[in-house]
Amino acid sequence: PSGGTDQAVEVDVALAGAGTAGLIAAVRLLEAGKSVVLFEKQDIAGGSMPMTYSGVAAAESQLQSNYALGRHDENPMFNKAGMLAVMSKYLVPENDRFDGAMPYQTAMYDNSGKLVDWLHGMGVGFYSLGVNPAYGVTPYLAPGCYMGGCGYAKDFLVDRVGALGGQIIYATEVTELVQEADGRVTGLLAQGRDGSSWTVGAKAVCLTTGGFAANPDMIAEYYPEYADYKFNCAPGSTGEGILMGQKAGGAIECMGRELGAFLSTTSQAGSNFEIAFLYQTTPGIIVNASGAQFGNMMSDNHGMLGRGLRDAANGGAFFYITDESGRITTNKNELYAMDTYKCLEHRGDMVHYDSVEEAAEALGLPELASTIETHNAHALAGEEDEFGRKNLPYIDTYSGIWVISCLPTFYLTTGGLAIDTAGRVLTEAGESIAGLYAAGDVCGSIEEKDGRPYAMGFDAAMNYGYLMAEAVIADI
């Protein structure tokens, strides 16, 4: 389109991307009295934020202490040192650059309690799972897990940006960074869908544009083993921030490592409804295209599913098998205050078959009957199965079985721009680029930087958005 206006703006801080990290950083910067403008290429803010499950790391926050009253002080959900000890168990030696020190996760958990109390103090709502011996307390953004809490928090932060005097420019994509001869980044250029153009001068520029799971060309370049798979991700995750950061001299890291997947439905054409927690709400088993089990979803959910999808022996089709009691728990489950899976039966994703044989014939699963028989034998004996699964649920086939056609779907990229633990973009030599900062998925996984597989991107985006803002405040 043409006919838009050309605008020149001078601000303290310009942000590219109004997703999780961008909104957190903008509010923090505005609180510190900095002038701020955010550019968002989509028509709404939030990026991946409204899609996520809304669980928040809250170790050593006052909010969590108020929930617990000291009863579970040693639980990792409450104790930063305990949480880091759990994280250290997953380090991959060949990817560990810091001899187990985990500086990036340490910075995140040093800040997480402060972040939660900051959000709670300004009025963002939390739901508590409640105190129990297994989990302690895991706060979720209210009203609960996959219940829209992240969307409500996003709306709250957007309103906060405006109330504090900031501005979000929608449908406008940042296209280029402005850089001086000495390498300092001093602004950006942006282009609106209405034809408007923006030239912005800034003391600091923050890249908060997300990852590149929705960019097939970048997937083919950096994750060639995953080039043929669908990514169930936010449409704005197309990688421009990484490319701009590289052009400004920034390094990239952690590309090409193994990606995890979560379960999505396939019964409704093209819907890919997320069912990542199905293995907790619905006792049962997952089988492949021949009706055989293929791994332990309880111990390594995302990794096992990602490998299962890529293993040609599984045939590229998957089915979750449960019984009548599983149907009931699916419809009535309120795990983490989440009851969204009750729609599965009504959507037609959860299908009943009068017998195992009927399901096997209809779906082409020749090994299904023997798989269920073997599984039930382990369940009755109270023993582990061949995949190391414990406490197996007995599948009662007296009144038939319920089947959910499903598919593991990849959902994010875990490589990205190199940053320090305060969000300053780094060169290949490890030197910071003056005036340039980044947080969120544009940096890839914080855990991967420490040498462990990706774990908690939402927490990382929030905490590093906050840490980045603190660094900008200190630097300018």
Note the pLDDT tens digit of each residue in 123-159.
Answer: 999 886 554 444 445 678 888 778 888 999 999 999 9
**Range with the poorest average pLDDT among 56-65, 284-293, 348-357, 434-443:** 56-65
At 75 the pLDDT is 74
User: Chain-centre distance of CA 220, in angstroms?
Assistant: 21
The pair of three-digit structure tokens given for residue 299, joined into one six-digit string: 């111990």
pLDDT surpassing 60 at residue 227: yes
Strand partners, 322: 402
**Range with the poorest average pLDDT among 124-138, 337-351, 356-370:** 124-138
At 336 the pLDDT is 65
- pLDDT above 70 covers what percent of the chain? 95
Report d(CA 262, CA 365) in Å as an integer: 22
**Range with the poorest average pLDDT among 67-71, 287-291, 393-397:** 67-71
Q: How far is CA 246 from CA 185, 383, 417, in A?
A: 12, 52, 8
Q: What is the three-state SS of 194-258?
A: CCCEEEEEEEEEEECCCCCCCCHHHHHHHCHHHCCCCECCCCCCCCHHHHHHHHCCCCEECCCCC
pLDDT, one tens digit per residue, over 415-447 is 999 999 999 999 999 999 999 999 999 999 999
The pair of three-digit structure tokens given for residue 210, joined into one six-digit string: 């997300």
Phi, psi of 264 (to 5 degrees): -130, 155
Report d(CA 248, CA 178) in Å as an integer: 9
Q: ∠ CA(326), CA(51), CA(209), 5° rounding?
A: 155
CB-based contacts of 379-383 (< 8 A; 24+ apart in sequence):
none
At 431 the pLDDT is 97
User: Chain-centre distance of CA 101, in angstroms?
Assistant: 23
End-to-end CA, the chain: 37
Strand partners, 174: 190
pLDDT surpassing 90 at residue 271: no
Phi, psi of 98 (to 5 degrees): -120, 20
At 3 the pLDDT is 60
Is 6 exposed, middle or buried (CB count within 10 Å of its CB: 0-12, 13-18, 19+)?
A: exposed
At 115 the pLDDT is 96
pLDDT surpassing 60 at residue 36: yes
Residue 308: helix, strand or coil by DSSP?
A: helix
| pLDDT bucket at 337, cuts 50 / 70 / 90 | low
| pLDDT bucket at 80, cuts 50 / 70 / 90 | confident
At 132 the pLDDT is 46
pLDDT surpassing 60 at residue 326: yes
pLDDT surpassing 90 at residue 340: no
Q: How far is CA 302 from CA 44, 149, 219, 350, 419, in A?
A: 29, 23, 19, 22, 26
At 144 the pLDDT is 79
| pLDDT bucket at 74, cuts 50 / 70 / 90 | confident
| Mean of the per-residue pLDDT values of the chain | 92
**Range with the poorest average pLDDT among 65-79, 140-154, 254-268:** 65-79
Strand partners, 201: 10, 187
User: Chain-centre distance of CA 274, in angstroms?
Assistant: 13
State pTM to two decimals. 0.93
User: Chain-centre distance of CA 16, in angstroms?
Assistant: 19
**Scanning the structure block, which residue is given the tokens 């009203």?**
143
**Range with the poorest average pLDDT among 168-177, 298-307, 330-339:** 330-339
| pLDDT bucket at 270, cuts 50 / 70 / 90 | low
**Range with the poorest average pLDDT among 167-171, 268-272, 406-410, 434-438:** 268-272
At 272 the pLDDT is 78
| pLDDT bucket at 304, cuts 50 / 70 / 90 | very high
